[in-house]
Amino acid sequence: MPRFAANLSMLYNDVDFLDRFAAAARDGFQAVEYLFPYAHPAPELAERLRAHGLQQVLFNAPPGDWDAGERGLACLPGREAEFRAGIAQAIEYAQALQCPRIHVMAGLVPQGADAAAVRATYVANVRHAAEQAAPHGIRILLEPINGRDMPGFFLSRQDQAHALVAEIGATNVQVQMDLYHCQIVEGDLAMKIRQYLPTGRVGHLQIAGVPERHEPDVGELNHPYLFRLLDSLGYDGWIGCEYRPARGAATHATSDGLGWLKPWL
């Protein structure tokens, strides 16, 4: 059976962030993920996980100045020191939260930048992150993101991410295969899953309905078919529920929209 993690950045927006742990546990989730933990002290987050019997399965390294539009630092020439400081902070949080995966966002390609320099910066930065994370048993994940949601993002295709993982050459670097982004950029999801899961290089999956990024049972995808396929391939990792409930931040919007999950809990 697929194992589902609630993405607390997108789900349960009708309550404060720290109250989303309890809400997810009440709905039957045993694991959570979210974008960034850094607004809260790690012990406070660890206590929420403990109190509600939840595992933290993923969060992101610091992305640079998110409010100013930055979406990761890994591919940005000249920002290496900030990138490294962010990785050190992320590893501290991952240890405190016993989280085995950190997503390192690639970043937006700077206007006019030399493509070779951007790629070389990315490879060197991810190698550094992998080296720092490895002694703690932490994996570094790279996620291709669609260019409609994040125009100019360095990484958008699965084949690009897998080629980079091979080039980086560290055993603790894997691809975060977000099926929502993959459907928008490439489509042919079942064949992509059949192609990439057996490589052992997919470290985490995420889902959402396409194109609105609402519940998985809203939109053009047949998620039950994909879940059965993942089962048949022996996928035993987590699937992050990274979608915006169709009723937004209305009271109980997330819980009311979880009908799709019930058969899989």
Q: Where do the DSSP E strands lie in 74-120?
A: 101-103
Q: Residue 36 or residue 264: which is nearer to ligand LCNOYBR7 going by CB?
A: 36
Quick one: residue 134, left, alpha or beta (phi over 0 = left, psi -120 to 50 = alpha)? alpha
Contact 174, 203 (CB under 8 A): yes
Q: Residue 48 or residue 101: which is nearer to ligand LCNOYBR7 going by CB?
A: 101
| Beta partners for residue 239, in sequence order | 4, 205
Q: Residue 8 or residue 46: which is nearer to Mg ion going by CB?
A: 8
User: Is 206 an interacting residue with respect to ligand LCNOYBR7 (CB under 6 A)?
Assistant: yes
Q: Residue 212 or residue 256: which is nearer to ligand LCNOYBR7 going by CB?
A: 212
Under rule CB under 6 A, which residues in 6-65 are in contact with ligand LCNOYBR7? 35, 60
> How far, in Å, CA of 216 to CA of 206, rounded?
11
Residue 213 contact among ligand LCNOYBR7, Mg ion, none, beta carbon within 5 to 8 Å by kind: none
Under rule CB under 6 A, which residues in 147-176 are in contact with ligand LCNOYBR7? none
User: Is 242 an interacting residue with respect to ligand LCNOYBR7 (CB under 6 A)?
Assistant: yes
User: Is 218 an interacting residue with respect to ligand LCNOYBR7 (CB under 6 A)?
Assistant: no
CB of 143 to ligand LCNOYBR7, least distance (A): 5
Which residue type occupies 81? Answer: A
Under rule CB under 6 A, which residues in 82-141 are in contact with ligand LCNOYBR7? 103, 105
Residue 60 contact among ligand LCNOYBR7, Mg ion, none, beta carbon within 5 to 8 Å by kind: ligand LCNOYBR7
User: Is 143 an interacting residue with respect to ligand LCNOYBR7 (CB under 6 A)?
Assistant: yes
The DSSP letter of residue 239 is E
Q: What is the β-pairing status of strands 173-178 and 202-207? A: parallel
Q: Where do the DSSP E strands lie in 193-237?
A: 202-207
CB of 213 to ligand LCNOYBR7, least distance (A): 9
Q: What is the β-pairing status of strands 202-207 and 55-60? A: unpaired
> How far, in Å, CA of 90 to CA of 38, rounded?
9
Under rule CB under 6 A, which residues in 175-194 are in contact with ligand LCNOYBR7? 178, 181
User: Is 178 an interacting residue with respect to Mg ion (CB under 5 A)?
Assistant: yes
Residue 146: exposed, middle, or buried by beta-carbon count in 10 A (0-12, 13-18, 19+)?
A: buried
Quick one: residue 107, left, alpha or beta (phi over 0 = left, psi -120 to 50 = alpha)? left
End-to-end CA distance of the chain: 8
CB of 16 to ligand LCNOYBR7, least distance (A): 20
Q: Which residues bind ligand LCNOYBR7 (CB under 6 A)?
A: 35, 60, 103, 105, 143, 145, 178, 181, 206, 242
Q: Which residues bind Mg ion (CB under 5 A)?
A: 178, 206, 242
